[in-house]
Structures are given as C-alpha cells and as structure tokens.
A and B are shown apart, each in its own frame.
Chain A
Amino acid sequence: MVEWEEKHQLLIETAREFNAKEAKGFLEIMDRENRFPPELPLKLSQYGLLGLKFPEQYGGAEMDSLGAALVIEELAKVSPAIADFLVSIHASTGVILQFGTEEQKATYLPPVAEGKRIPAYALTESEAGSDLAGIRTRAIREGEGYRLTGSKLFITLGGVADFAVVLAITNPDAEKKHRGMSLLIVEGFQKGKEEDLMGLRGLAVSELSFQDLPVPGKNLVGKENEGFIHIMQSLDGGRIEVAALAVGLAQGALDEAIRYAKQRSQFGKPIASFQAIQFMIADMQTKIDAARQLTYYAARLRDAGKPHSREASEAKLFASDVAMECVTESLQIHGGYGYSKEYPIEHLFRDAKINQIFEGTNQIQRLVIARNLLEKT
C-alpha cells in the first residue's frame, strides 16, 4: 500500500487525535477501575468513529472493512480495550446490518452511531464456546413473538448494554442443531455479575439471563432457524477486526519498547545501542508488518466481495500470535520496569492474550484454514 485513499488517511488521523487527546483518561478508568466509562460512546461518536460501517441514513459513514480495520488498529496501539469496544459493536450491529429488516436498522442503528445506546452480542454460554451449536438458551414461539429463557456468559458490554442480539434455539426438534437457532434483538434482560478479567478491562463483560422474557416477533434478525448460519456468514468480518486489534496492540508494544530502549541507559549507553535489543526490535517489526499485510489483504478481499474466510482466519491467527510475542519481547526490553503498572507495556501484556482466544480460538482458526485448503483440492 503505497498511498492511502483520502478517507482512510483521514480516518487514521482522526483515530490518532482520539488517542492523543482522549484515550489516556478512559484507559485509567477502564484498566485500573475495571469500569466502563459512560462518556466513551458519546466521545467516540463526536470523533465520528461510531457506526462507521452504517449507511449514511443511519448515521454512518459507509466505511469499508479496510477502514474499520485501520481505526481499530490505530486505537489498539494505545488502548486495545477501546478498540475492542468498536469490534464488539461492529459484531452486534453487523448482523442487523447484514440480515436485519429496514425497520430494525432504522430503530437500532442510529442511536448506536450517536453514542446513545450500547449493543451487545450474546452468543457464548457456559457450555457453548467454540462449540456454539451447544447453546441451551431457548426462544419458544408464543403468538406473534417468543418467550426467551436461558443465560449467556462472557458478554462484552453486557453490563451496560441497552439491547443485545441473542442466539437462541427456536426449533429444538431440528435434525441438525445448527438449523434450529435464531438471532433475536432482546431488551429488558437481567444483567449478572461483571467479570474481573485479566485484560481488555472496563468493557462490562457480564452474564445475561432471560426468564420467560417476551420478545416481539419483529425482533427476529434474518430468517427463523438460520441464526447459526447467519453468524457463520458474518464471522469473517470480526476476525479481520480482531487481527487489526492485534496488529495495533503489537505495534503499540513495539513503540513502547523503542521509546524505552532509547532512554534507558546501562553500561554507560542507551540499551537501544546493543545488538541484543536491536535484533529483538527488528524481529518484532518484521512480524508486525507481515501480520498487518495479512490483515489488510483479508480486508481488501472482503471489500472486493471475494471469498476471504481462510485469509481472515490466517490474519487473526498470525496477528494474535505476533501480538503475544511482541508484548513478551517488549516487556523483556523494559526489564523490571515493564513489570510495573507505571509503564503501558504492563496492560498491553495483559490485553494481548485474549486475542488468541476470542472470536474463535487460534486452534479453531487452524481448523478453518486447513478445512478450507483440504476441501478445495
């Protein structure tokens, strides 16, 4: 990529301004206090960074996947948690955007873009992580609508969400389990305890529960009993965004390492002058650039409407592994100081691990890649 399109360039600049002026304050609250800052959505909206992918009429900028990835990468350099706020919102609104009715879009999307309402995406359950088809939450038909019963676990933004897109069993008798599930837009759910997580803190990751909760029929997203299929159709976009988050996080960790290595003196000179450090820095940047190109490539394929499932998984797998390597190396360069909360590498280190786990573990990504190759030939 020799030169950015104007819209992409401006987007990067806008995210950098947000990082410079706003991110630190939010980061304190999120990481230290594990509290979601209520002003965050409005502030992101003022910068025009919320609902980027929505059509203009719903308050969006009709941004492509590459643009979304660039913003997420940029934000993740300083605050992976804020970047993940966008990833989460893109996931929940993404299925409404892709499969929802015009009425659903007009009702639910504009307030998200304005930072006035927060959506959550509720798929995972205690017994259904990688094996999503194992969910137990059920939505029983009742007249025009449904009655929803069950609970969801580890729901990002669950504790602060105004509505959630929930995956539930709508046909328990379906021959294949994944042919009997639907996506529903749900309001008025019970919020359980918020998780005290290792990293990406302050995103109100919570349990959600539903007890005979009525859901109007018009809140069905896409086709009844095809919810699982819809999710599979929209997974790739999320994987590209997690890859972008990991790339940004890795770059942020390297940037911190370079800054530290130039100012830290030992044996009478900056440690950046030692080859041992230089080699670590060179290896890190090389890997980050490779991860970045995989990510941009997957995003470009997606924007061009071409198959990109394998590439999205490759990007997610590689970038999250690179992020984990880079935070480890960067902390090593920081030495003992890196183990202190005084330096950003401390939280970047904790923020990195989850990228190998969520949005499909890296083991699942390998399965996707391998199956994609084996089925083709």
Chain B
Amino acid sequence: MREAPPGGKLPMKVAVCIKQVPGTTEVQVNPDTGTLMREGVEAIINPFDLYALEEGIRLKEKYGGAVTVLSMGPPQVESAIREAISYGADEGVMISDRSFAGSDTLATASTLAATLRILGPFDVILMGRQAIDGDTGQVGPETAEHLGIPHVTEVKMIEGIEGNRITLHRMLEHGYLRLRAPLPILLTVVKEINTPRPASFKGKLRARQVPIKILRAQDLELSPEIVGLSGSPTRVVRVFTPPRPTGGKVFTGEPKEAVENLLRTLEEAGIPLKCRNGS
C-alpha cells in the first residue's frame, strides 16, 4: 500500500476486471467438448462488470486518480476494453495469449493476479459478482487470495474511503452488512450498487484513439503449468441443457376455490399434505 501524505487524500488507483461474454442466453453447447459455441454470437461486456466499472469511475471522480480496465481473453476482447474506455475508464490492458486458452477460474485468477501485480499496486480492484456465462463467482475471491489482499463480495455500496480504510455495505439475503476493511482490497459488486452511465460522445472518440496495452504470457513471467488448460484442475464432465418441465396446471378463479382445487389435485396425486404440527 502506498503511504498517503499526512492529512492528505491519495488519488485512487483503481483496476476494473471485465469479461467479454455472449450477449444472449441462447448459446449452444458443443456436444463433443462441452464448451460454449461463441461463433456468430454478439459479444458484450458482462453486465455485472459494468456496475464495477461505474463504481470505479465514481471513485476516481470522488477521490481523484485513474481507472485501468483489464480483460483476459482472445483478441476480440479489445472491443470490450474500448467500450469500457468510452464509459470513462482511463486506460485499457488486454491479457491475451494462446497459452491462456482453456483457463478455468483458478488459472484465470492466477493470470489476473500476475497482471495486477505488474501494473499495480492498485488501491481498489473491482469486479462484477459473477459472469453471466460461467456463473461461478469465483475469479474475484481467488484473485484476491493470489494477491494476498482482502476481498469482499456482493458489495452494494461504497460508503467512503478514509485514509487507508474503506467502508462498505455487503448485500445479504435479508439486509446488509456494514463493514470496514483496509486497502488495498478486491471487491465484487452487485447491480444494486449504482446505475451505470451511458457512453459519452467524447468517451467514444477517446476509445477509438487510445492505445490498448497488450500483455502476453512472457510479460507476466508465469510458469506454463499454472496458466491455460494445464493450470486448470477443473474438468467439465458434461454440459447440458436441462429438460424444460412440461405440462403444469394453473389454478384460476377465486383464491379459496383455487386453493381447494390445488389441494384436491395434490391429494389425488398422492402427495401428503400434513404439516409439521400435524394439522
């Protein structure tokens, strides 16, 4: 952690990790490899990451500093990075190498952590709570562990930063947890945290012109066995679309009548209707 000048605020160095995902839920699965078939499907920035990006831009606006956007993936992710710049990120870094192909969450986190270490130190690292394609929600926490810094998931509000401490609201099922944590920190955010701004005209113009930094495997000095497929212990056994439940019956009419019909149907189907208290 960089030392803040006495009584002074330190401009925030913020990193936002984004993922390019298919812009639809209708992606087909390759039956042979169990991987997603992305060809011909429009790619978008993972929606949760847009909230992380917006929060990063807000931190910059409030405390000064700069926002660096990182994305790991094939060369196409450049378009996601440029889009992020059009929203207000200052610079973009693409982490791309053939040897990264097939990374699971562990290998991805190792690679992201190595990148963040080289580009950093960052005060705040932001990610979306999960990606809408893999839906694991693991990369954030794993990256923080690799970096040896604390992390908080499901952040729904950043109350503020004072000196070296950040105050957060973490979303729970019934309410939220207000907590304070030291910087540097990695946060994954939920969509309740903000409303992302639109890309501005000037942002778009900048996004076309700004050079994107590209980091390859050799730049990260990672041993080959921890990146890509060889660094990925996860084995996908089978990916399939679960059969959609068919049939079903909707009970209409007055609530009393509908409930009676429902109960009768359940009884006829041999489903026991006894509650725990025996009634």
Query: B102 at interface (Cβ–Cβ under 8 A)?
Result: no
B9-17, B89-97, B182-190, B202-210 - the one binding chain A: B202-210
Query: A303 at interface (Cβ–Cβ under 8 A)?
Result: no
Determine which of B201, B203, B208 lies in contact with A49 in the assembled complex, contact meaning CB atoms within 8 Å.
B201
Query: B199 at interface (Cβ–Cβ under 8 A)?
Result: yes
Say whether chain B's binding surface is mostly helix, strand, loop, or mixed: helix
Tell me whether B205 and A46 are in contact (CB under 8 A): no
Closest B-chain residue to A7, C-beta based? Answer: B205
Tell me whether A47 and B208 are in contact (CB under 8 A): no
Tell me whether A10 and B201 are in contact (CB under 8 A): yes
A18, B198: Cα distance in complex, Å: 9
Q: Please, which residues of chain A bring their CB within 8 A of the CB of B198?
A: 17-18, 21-22, 46-47
Closest A-chain residue to B200, C-beta based? Answer: A48
Query: A219 at interface (Cβ–Cβ under 8 A)?
Result: no
Tell me whether B197 and A14 are in contact (CB under 8 A): no
Tell me whether B202 and A13 are in contact (CB under 8 A): no
Determine which of B197, B199, B202 lies in contact with A17 in the assembled complex, contact meaning CB atoms within 8 Å.
B199
- Residue-wise interface mask of B (64-92) relative to A, using a CB-CB cutoff of 8 A (1 in contact, 0 not): 00000000000000000000000000000
Q: Which of B165-212 contact A (CB under 8 A)?
A: 197-205, 208
Q: Which of A1-54 contact B (CB under 8 A)?
A: 6-7, 10-11, 13-14, 17-18, 21-22, 46-49, 52
Task: Give chain A nearest CB distance to B81 CB in angstroms.
Answer: 17
A6-B208, A10-B208 are known contacts. Are A46 and B200 too (CB-CB below 8 A)? yes
Tell me whether B208 and A14 are in contact (CB under 8 A): no
Query: A354 at interface (Cβ–Cβ under 8 A)?
Result: no
Could you say which of A13, A21, A47, A61 has the most chain B C-beta atoms within 10 Å of its C-beta?
A47
Closest B-chain residue to A61, C-beta based? Answer: B202
**Chain A residues with a Cβ under 8 A of chain B:** 6-7, 10-11, 13-14, 17-18, 21-22, 46-49, 52, 61
Seed contacts A10-B201, A46-B200; 8 additional CB < 8 Å A-B pairs: A10-B208, A13-B204, A14-B199, A47-B200, A48-B201, A48-B203, A48-B204, A61-B205
**Can you list 7 A-B pairs with a CB-CB distance of less than 8 A?**
A6-B208, A11-B201, A17-B198, A21-B198, A47-B198, A48-B201, A49-B201
